[in-house]
Amino acid sequence: MSATRLLVLGVVRMYGKAHGYQVRRELLSWAADKWGNVQPGSIYHALKKMTADGLLEQVEDAEAGSGPDRVAYRLTEDGETEFVVQLGRALSSDDATGYSLSAAITFMPTLPRPQVLALLKQQLANMEAHAQSTHYAREHAVDLGKPPHVSELYRLWSAHAEANVSWMRDLIGRLEAGDYVMAGEGDDEAVFGTPPK
The pLDDT of residue 65 is: 58
Beta bridge partners of 183: none
What mean pLDDT do residues 180-185 have? 94
The pLDDT of residue 60 is: 80
The pLDDT of residue 160 is: 94
The pLDDT of residue 105 is: 97
The pLDDT of residue 197 is: 81
Confidence of residue 68 (pLDDT cuts 50, 70, 90): low
Q: Compute the 3-state secondary structure of the chain and give helix, strand, coil in percent, each to the nearest 5.
A: 70, 5, 25
Kindly report the CA angle at 15 between 7 and 67, in degrees rounded to 5?
95
For residues 109 and 90, what is the distance between their CA atoms, to the nearest angstrom?
Answer: 14
For residues 128 and 166, what is the distance between their CA atoms, to the nearest angstrom?
Answer: 10
Tell me if residue 55 falls in helix, strand or coil.
Answer: coil
Report the candidate in 114, 62, 57, 116 with the shortest Cα–Cα distance to residue 84: 116
Residue 142: pLDDT over 80:
no
User: CATH fold of 3-106, please?
Assistant: Arc Repressor Mutant, subunit A (1.10.10)
33 vs 197, residue with greater confidence = 33
What mean pLDDT do residues 37-46 have? 92
The pLDDT of residue 22 is: 94
Confidence of residue 15 (pLDDT cuts 50, 70, 90): very high
For residues 107 and 91, what is the distance between their CA atoms, to the nearest angstrom?
Answer: 10
pTM, two decimal places: 0.89
195 vs 56, residue with greater confidence = 56
**Domain residue ranges in the chain:** 3-106, 111-190
Residue 96: pLDDT over 90:
no
What mean pLDDT do residues 59-75 have? 74
Report the candidate in 77, 7, 81, 72 with the shortest Cα–Cα distance to residue 39: 7
The pLDDT of residue 55 is: 98
The pLDDT of residue 126 is: 95
What contacts 75, CB < 8 A, 6 or more positions away? Answer: 9, 12, 13, 55, 56, 83, 195
Average pLDDT of the residues of the chain: 91
For residues 18 and 15, what is the distance between their CA atoms, to the nearest angstrom?
Answer: 6
What mean pLDDT do residues 101-106 have? 96
Residue 64: pLDDT over 60:
no
